[in-house]
Amino acid sequence: MQRICVIGGSRYIGKLLVERSRAAGHRVTVINRGSTPQPAGIEHLVVDRNDEAALTAALAGRTFDVVVDQVCYTPVQAAIAARAFAGRTRRYVMTSTIEVYDPATAALPAVPSGTPVPEESVDPTTWQVDMDLPWHDDTYLEAHYAEGKRQAEGVFANAGGFTFATVRSAHVLGGGALEFTGRLAHYAGRVTRGEEITVHAKALPTVFIHYEELAELLLWAAAADFTGPVNACSDGPLDVYDLAGIVVTQAGSDAVYRIVPEGEEASPFSFDRHYAMSNARAKALGFLFSRTTDWLPGAVAEALAVPAAPTA
């Protein structure tokens, strides 16, 4: 049994992680702002993680074996958490993202197209951190999501006080209405309504992971002893045509594609640049991944079963 603290834990992957941690016999504490009640047997600390004094007060007298941070987006948030949990946890696991490898968001080492991107392409121990950027501004943060994650990793990697690992998640799918990004619903809706799917002239593959598999991997990472980044993606990259093709098969409707001019944004998961991750490190550490094509048809079926939102 471990004492696990989950920051976030109110929806989707975080909620499932809490449920599975509890089912595995761990003692679980959830920290969030209290928007969603926690089930019986879960300690719930209602506090804003951005309020360092309140967070430190809420943690008084508590220690954990591991903290799993689901909602850290900036180096400022990371610095607050690093100070608050120093001496209170043995291990800290941050949920990060494939977007840290996006070459459109930072000057990164070139990786040949088609070569899976390894973790060492972004080293958090050497990444430059700038606390003075306007991280409190939601518009700025949305536009600099990848950089916020990179710098947050950098803060934790150099904090000391606990061992640190970061799980860089591929694009997460599955769960039907639970999938709050709406990206799979975008394809389900476009195909069933016969609407255009915008794509790049040369759409490149990316990688995906089912939300249940990511929750399983986070629980595995919580109990492991590796440090540093690890990529989390199912086997088998897919491009936008592969993804839409599975939707077409499930929906029984044809897809309508429109190629966008160079430099224009296209539908989610159509990429004109390469940053599909390698999962070799996680495999070497002992985690077994599914194949994307094994679970994606079921995820698409769930998305198609969700009632469409009413139109104006």
The mean pLDDT value of the chain amounts to: 94
Q: pLDDT at residue 5 above 70?
A: yes
Provide the pLDDT confidence category of residue 312 given band limits of 50, 70 and 90: very low
CA distance 54 to 211: 31
How many C-beta neighbours within 10 Å does residue 110 have?
10
Q: What's the CA gap between 109 and 183, in Å, rounded?
A: 29
Q: Pull the structure tokens for residue 100.
A: 């840290």
pLDDT of residue 118: 97
**What predicted TM-score, i.e. pTM, was given to this entire model?**
0.95
pLDDT at 308: 67
Reply yes or no on whether the pLDDT at 219 is more than 60.
yes
- Percentage of residues in the chain having pLDDT higher than 70: 98
Residue 264 included in any domain: no
| Residue of 1 and 45 predicted with greater confidence | 45
In the prediction, which pLDDT does 289 show? 98
E strands, the chain, are 3-7, 27-32, 43-46, 64-69, 89-97, 163-169, 171-173, 196-199, 208-210, 228-232, 256-259
**CA–CA gap between residue 88 and residue 65 (Å, rounded):** 8
Q: What is the CATH number of the domain that holds 56?
A: 3.40.50.720
Specify if 255 maps to a domain: no
Residue 312 lies in a domain: no
Residues recorded for the chain: 312
Angle at 130 between CA 123 and CA 120, to 5 degrees: 5
Which of residues 34 and 251 earns the better pLDDT score? Answer: 251
What does DSSP assign to residue 67? E
Sequence-distant (6+) residues with CB within 8 A of 217 are: 167, 209, 232, 282, 287
Among 70-79, 89-98, 256-265, the least confident range: 256-265
Q: Band of the pLDDT at 11, cuts 50, 70, 90?
A: confident
What does the pLDDT read at residue 69?
Answer: 97
Asked if residue 260 is part of any domain, the answer here is no
With vertex at residue 276, the alpha carbon angle to CA 261 and CA 78, rounded to the nearest 5 degrees, is 105
Given a cut of 80, whether residue 310 has pLDDT beyond it is no
Residue 311 has pLDDT above 80, yes or no: no
**Exposure b/e, 21-59, CB count within 10 A at least 16 = b:** bbeeebbbbbbbeeeeebeeebebbebebeebeebeebb
Residues 6+ apart with CB under 8 A from 308: 189, 192
| Separation CA 32–CA 16 (nearest Å) | 15
pLDDT digits (tens, 9 = 90+) for 270-284: 999 999 999 999 999
What pLDDT is attached to residue 62? 96
The band of 50, judged by pLDDT with boundaries at 50, 70 and 90, is very high
Q: Which domain holds residue 227?
A: 3-175+207-235+276-291
Average pLDDT over residues 250-258: 93
How much of the chain exceeds pLDDT 90, in percent? 88
pLDDT tens digits for range 140-194: 999 999 999 999 999 999 998 999 999 999 999 999 888 888 999 999 999 999 9
pLDDT at 272: 93
The DSSP-derived string for 249-299 is HHHT---EEEEPPTT---STT-BSS--PBP-HHHHHTTPPP-BHHHHHHHH
pLDDT for res 264:
87
Nearest to 4 by CA among 16, 17, 15, 13: 17
Is residue 154 in some structural domain? yes
Helices H, strands E: what count in the chain? Answer: 10, 11
Is 188 part of any domain?
no
Which of 211, 184, 227 lies closest to 290 in space, CA to CA? Answer: 211
* 101 lies in some domain: yes
The number of folded domains in the chain is 1
* Residue 310 forms part of a structural domain: no
Residue 226 C-alpha from the chain's centroid: 19
Angle of CA points 46, 51, 57, to nearest 5°: 65
- pLDDT level of residue 243 (50, 70, 90 thresholds): very high
CA separation for the pair 206, 219 (Å, rounded): 24
Tens of pLDDT along 84-138? 999 999 999 999 999 999 999 999 998 998 899 999 999 999 999 999 999 999 9
